Chains A and B, each alone.
Chain A
Amino acid sequence: MEERMTEDLKAIYSRAPDIFQRLRREIDKVMVGQTTAIEQLLVAVLAGGHALLESNPGLAKTLLVKTTARAMGLGYSRIQCTPDLMPADITGTTIIEETDGSKKFRFEPGPVFANIVLADEINRASPKTQSALLEAMQERQVTVGNRTYLLDRPFFILATQNPIEMEGTFPLPEAQLDRFLFKIFMSYPSFEEEMAILERYSGRQEPTVEKMVSKDEVIGLQALSRDIPVSEELKKGAVELVMATRKWEGVQYGASPRASIGLIVSSKARAFLLGRNYVSKEDLHVMAYPILRHRIILSFEAERKGLTRDQVVADILKHLGL
C-alpha cells in the first residue's frame, strides 16, 4: 500500500511541472493580469494554508476562486457573510428526516464542507460566526452537537475583505488574522489588461475552464511541496525576519512563530510551483509580504507618519539582506 503511494507520488512529482503549466494556462484563459494574486493563491493551496484577500469590488475575486477550484477539480462553495449569518449557516445543522414512516436526525452539511470555500466579506459576519469559520480553518473539522465531522481534503478558505466600507463591519481580531497564511492584495488592472477584459467578456461566449488536475493529485502535490529542500541559511533568515518584526521601530506587535512556519512552507510551495527543487532567497523575499503584512501591527506614531506594513517588511528585508 505504502509502496503504491510512493509510486503515485513519484509519478505526480515527475508530472508536476506540466500540471502547473496547464493549470496556469487554464486560469489565464479566464483571468486577465493579477499574476501575483494568482501565484499567491496557488501557493496557498499548495502550502495547505488559507488566504485573506483584500481588494476593491469588481476585481474578480469570486471568479479567481471559482476558476481555481474548477481547474483543480475541487468542490467549491461561497458564503456571503452578513451580520445575521449564523454559525450553523456555515457549519451545517441537524435536521429531522422522515423515511419509511420513521423519523431520523440527519446532519445537513453547510457550505464549509467543500474543498475551496469563498467567505465573501468576512468582516460583515458577526464575531460568533467568524469564530465558527476560523475554527473550521484551524481544526479542519466541524463539531455540531456532540458529533465531529472531518472536512474533506484539500480544504482551503479564501476570505475577502472590502477595505473601503467599514460601516457595520466586525474587523477580524489580530489573533484570528494570524490563522490566515496569506493576505493577498488585488489591484486594479492596467489599461491594456482592462482592454483585454473587455474583449474577453463582452462577447456572446465567455471563456470556460476545464479540470486539469484531480483532487488526489492536488493532495499529492501538497505533500511533495513540503519535501522541497530548504537550506539552513534560509531557515535562519526566515526566523531572523520574523523576530525582527517584534523589535522593529514603528511596529507595536510583531509576527508570531506561525509566520516563520508559513514563510518556509510557502517558500517551498512557490519554489515547487515555479518548477524548482530547492528554495531560493527570492522565494523567501517574495513570500515575506503576503505572510507578514497582516501579522504586524504598526504603532500609532508609525501610522500617523504614513508608514505601511509592506514598507516595514521591505525595510526589514533590506536590513537583513534578504
Chain B
Amino acid sequence: MDGPYEFLIYLKKINVAHHRFQILIWILNGIVISLLVYAVALYIGLPAFTEFYWQDFLPLAISPAILSVLIGFIAASILRRRRTSDLFGLFEPELADKVRAAYDNRRARSFPMQSLAAEVRTSLAGIRPSRILDWRQVKVRMALLIVLGSATAILAYSQISADITPSDFQSIADLRDRALDLFADQTAEKKVEVNLSGNIYGKPSLAVLNEEKLQLVLYPGTEAGSRAKATEATERLFKPTPPGGASAVPAELYIESLPPQNKEIIKKYFENLAKG
C-alpha cells in the first residue's frame, strides 16, 4: 500500500472509529430500550409479582430485569441491522462517490484509478475520524437515558402503578398452576392440601371442605396482603378485627365471589388467622 493507494490506510482508520461509534450506539440503544421495558414492567407491578412468588429463586425473582435487558439488546441489534450506517455516508456526497469507486477498484492500477486514489488520499488525509462522526446521535441517546433512568427510579421508589386488580393476574397464575400440576406428583399435592401454612397468598388453596379444594386465592395488593418491595413489613399483616364482621376482612372481593356454602369456613379461617 504505497503512493496514492495509501488512501486505504486512512480509510481503515476512519472505519475503525466508525465501528467503535456503531458499538457505542448499539450499547446506548440497548440500555435505553431496556430501561423503557423495565419502566413499563415496574408500572404494571411485574417485578413485585415475580419477587414475591419466586423469592427463593433469584433468577426468576429478578426475571423482569433480566428480560428487560435481553429485550433491550435484541431490539438494539435488530435496529443496528436495519439501520446499518454506511461508512461512505459519512463523507460529503462527492467525496463519498470518489471513495466508494476508489475502494471498490482498489486492485486496479490504471491511470484513472491512480489519479482517483491520489485525490482520495489527499482528501482523507485531511479528515479527523472523530470529526465526521455524528455525535448528535450519542447526545440524543444520553438525554433519553437520563430521562428514562429518572422515570424508572421514580417508579421503583414510589407507589405509582397501573390500577391492576387480582383478576389481571389470574391468567398468569393459572398458567403457573397448570405448569406446576404437570410436574407435581400426587403425594406432594395431598401434602399441600392437608397442611395449611401460614402463608395466605396465592395458591395452593387455603382451605379444604369435604375433601374439596377451595379456590381461594389471595394476591399481594392493596390491604389484602403486601407488596414485597414497596411497603413496610408491618403493612403486610392483616389488622386484627372482631370476629364475625365480614367487613373486617379486606379480602371481601374473594369472599363475595365464593359459593355461599363455603363462606362460613373461610370466615372462620380468617378469624383464626387474625387471632394467631
Q: Write the residues of chain A forming the contact surface with B, with a CB cutoff of 8 angstroms.
A: 9-10, 13, 224, 227-234, 272, 277-281
Of the listed stretches B23-31, B113-121, B195-203, B231-239, chain A binds B113-121
State the CA gap A234–B101 with chains docked (Å): 9
State the CA gap A278–B110 with chains docked (Å): 12
Enumerate chain B residues within 8 angstroms of A277, measured Cβ to Cβ. 112-113, 115-116, 119
Enumerate chain A residues within 8 angstroms of B100, measured Cβ to Cβ. 231-233
- Please tell me which one of the listed residues A229, A231, A233, A280 contacts residue B112 in the complex, with CB atoms under 8 A apart: A229
Enumerate chain A residues within 8 angstroms of B183, measured Cβ to Cβ. none
Known contacts: A10-B111, A13-B111, A224-B111. The answer to whether A232 contacts B104 by CB under 8 A is: yes
Q: List 26 A-B contacts (CB under 8 A).
A: A13-B112, A13-B115, A224-B111, A227-B113, A228-B112, A229-B108, A229-B110, A229-B116, A230-B101, A230-B104, A230-B105, A231-B100, A231-B101, A231-B103, A231-B104, A232-B100, A234-B101, A272-B112, A277-B116, A277-B119, A278-B98, A278-B101, A278-B102, A279-B97, A280-B94, A281-B97
CB contacts between A and B, total, < 8 Å: 54
Cβ of B233 to closest chain A Cβ, rounded Å: 64
Enumerate chain B residues within 8 angstroms of A229, measured Cβ to Cβ. 101-102, 104-105, 108, 110, 112-113, 116
State the CA gap A227–B116 with chains docked (Å): 11
Q: Mark B109-144, 1 if CB is under 8 A from A, else 0.
A: 011110110010000000000000000000000000
Q: Are B112 and A224 in contact (CB under 8 A)?
A: yes
Interface centre among A224, A232, A278, A280 (most CB of B within 10 A): A278
Enumerate chain B residues within 8 angstroms of A13, measured Cβ to Cβ. 111-112, 115
State the CA gap A231–B102 with chains docked (Å): 7
Q: Are A227 and B101 in contact (CB under 8 A)?
A: no
Q: Are A227 and B111 in contact (CB under 8 A)?
A: yes
| Count of residues in B whose CB is under 8 Å from the partner chain | 17
Enumerate chain B residues within 8 angstroms of A279, measured Cβ to Cβ. 97, 101
Known contacts: A229-B116, A278-B116. The answer to whether A9 contacts B104 by CB under 8 A is: no
- Please tell me which one of the listed residues A227, A231, A232, A233 contacts residue B110 in the complex, with CB atoms under 8 A apart: A227
Q: Mark B67-95, 1 if CB is under 8 A from A, else 0.
A: 00000000000000000000000000010
Enumerate chain B residues within 8 angstroms of A227, measured Cβ to Cβ. 108, 110-113
Enumerate chain B residues within 8 angstroms of A233, measured Cβ to Cβ. 100, 104
Secondary structure dominating the interface of B: helix
State the CA gap A147–B177 with chains docked (Å): 95
Cβ of B12 to closest chain A Cβ, rounded Å: 18
State the CA gap A234–B119 with chains docked (Å): 20
Interface centre among B98, B104, B112 (most CB of A within 10 A): B112
State the CA gap A9–B119 with chains docked (Å): 20
Q: Are B111 and A231 in contact (CB under 8 A)?
A: no
Cβ of A232 to closest chain B Cβ, rounded Å: 5
Enumerate chain B residues within 8 angstroms of A234, measured Cβ to Cβ. 101
Cβ of A184 to closest chain B Cβ, rounded Å: 25
Enumerate chain B residues within 8 angstroms of A272, measured Cβ to Cβ. 112
Enumerate chain A residues within 8 angstroms of B112, measured Cβ to Cβ. 13, 224, 227-229, 272, 277-278
Enumerate chain A residues within 8 angstroms of B102, measured Cβ to Cβ. 229, 278
Nearest to B108 among chain A residues (CB) is A229
Enumerate chain A residues within 8 angstroms of B103, measured Cβ to Cβ. 231
Enumerate chain A residues within 8 angstroms of B115, measured Cβ to Cβ. 13, 277
State the CA gap A9–B111 with chains docked (Å): 8
Nearest to A233 among chain B residues (CB) is B100
Cβ of B96 to closest chain A Cβ, rounded Å: 10
State the CA gap A230–B101 with chains docked (Å): 5
- Please tell me which one of the listed residues B97, B105, B111 contacts residue A280 in the complex, with CB atoms under 8 A apart: B97
State the CA gap A227–B107 with chains docked (Å): 12
State the CA gap A317–B102 with chains docked (Å): 24
State the CA gap A10–B115 with chains docked (Å): 11
Nearest 6 Cβ contacts at the A-B interface: A227-B110, A229-B105, A278-B101, A231-B100, A229-B101, A277-B116
State the CA gap A229–B115 with chains docked (Å): 10
Given A234-B101, A278-B116; 16 other pairs, CB 8 A cutoff: A13-B112, A13-B115, A224-B110, A227-B110, A228-B112, A229-B104, A229-B108, A230-B104, A230-B105, A231-B104, A231-B105, A232-B104, A272-B112, A278-B112, A280-B97, A281-B97
Known contacts: A229-B116, A231-B104. The answer to whether A278 contacts B97 by CB under 8 A is: yes
State the CA gap A13–B110 with chains docked (Å): 10
Nearest to A228 among chain B residues (CB) is B112
State the CA gap A94–B97 with chains docked (Å): 54
